[in-house]
């Protein structure tokens, strides 16, 4: 599949957690792609995606052959199928099975965390008090992370040692924990820091900081503070 360039359509980098996942699953594994911005918050998304039937949301991935993938999990599985040597999933069968299960659960679950804590990369919020349902989601996520790290991740900083699609799908969780000051044990603060200092994420966020949003789509009465990498040493 070498030489094939994918076309990736993404929404606003500041808020679109699924767009971040779509971008990372190409960027982190060295797959060639061109990115196209879609007006997710400006209201032009329907027109921007009109030529990509049946797409209605972002991200959208188009292959060189013209096939259109309209869902992040479909994108992940298709890329893993088309690029078996790229390392999107762990090689060892038991690790691969767990990673695939964790990706699927992230795709279909944790609705309280998503609803109450939309991804925001502009700043952090102070004194946010998570609902019990959010804390329940976090407990389940940390249980999954522990299972991956304890069984398969001892030889590297990521959930399965080397970076995989599991890290792609839980990267926005790391951003939510950071933005809302959600409780996480030191072990997971270290893992979250690994995401925050990742060069590809830093590039994504630098591009996000160039965006403007008026009105701000997620108004809040909470005070804000700088993102960690903006704090002067």
Q: What is the per-residue pLDDT across 38-69, written as a single tens digit (0 to 9) for each?
A: 999 999 999 999 999 999 999 999 999 999 99
Give the pLDDT band (50/70/90) at residue 12.
Answer: very high
pLDDT at 19: 98
Are 29 and 110 contacting, i.e. CB atoms less than 8 angstroms apart? Answer: no
Side-chain half-sphere exposure of 23, counting CA atoms within 13 A: 24
What are the chain's domains?
6-82 (3.40.30.10), 93-205 (1.20.1050.10)
pLDDT (tens digit per residue) in 188-221: 999 999 999 999 999 999 999 999 988 889 989 9
Closest C-alpha among 37, 44, 30 to residue 13: 37
pLDDT for 233 beyond 80:
no
How far is 128 from 125, CA to CA, in rounded Å?
7
Residues 165-181: what's their mean pLDDT?
Answer: 98
Q: Tokens at residue 32, please?
A: 């060639």
Give the pLDDT band (50/70/90) at residue 231.
Answer: low
pLDDT (tens digit per residue) in 70-93: 999 999 999 999 999 999 999 999
């Amino acid at each position: 599949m070498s030489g094939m360039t994918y076309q990736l359509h993404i929404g606003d980098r500041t808020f679109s957690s699924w767009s971040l996942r779509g971008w990372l699953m190409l960027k982190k594994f060295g797959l060639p792609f061109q990115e196209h911005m879609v007006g997710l918050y400006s209201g032009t998304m329907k027109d921007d995606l009109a030529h990509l039937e049946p797409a209605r949301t972002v991200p959208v991935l188009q292959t060189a052959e013209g096939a259109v993938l309209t869902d992040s999990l479909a994108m992940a599985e298709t890329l893993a199928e088309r690029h078996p040597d790229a390392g999107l999933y762990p090689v060892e069968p038991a690790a691969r099975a767990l990673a695939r299960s964790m990706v699927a659960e992230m795709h279909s679950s944790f609705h309280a965390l998503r609803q109450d804590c939309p991804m925001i990369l502009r700043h952090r919020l102070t004194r946010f008090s998570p609902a019990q349902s959010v804390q329940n989601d976090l407990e389940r996520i940390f249980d999954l992370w522990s299972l991956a790290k304890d069984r398969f991740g001892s030889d590297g900083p990521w959930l399965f040692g080397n970076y995989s699609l599991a890290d792609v799908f839980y990267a926005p969780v790391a951003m939510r924990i950071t933005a809302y000051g959600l409780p996480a044990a030191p072990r997971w603060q270290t893992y979250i820091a690994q995401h925050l200092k990742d060069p590809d994420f830093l590039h994504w966020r630098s591009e996000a900081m160039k965006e403007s949003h008026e009105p701000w789509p997620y108004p809040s009465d909470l005070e804000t503070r700088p993102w960690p990498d903006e704090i002067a040493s």
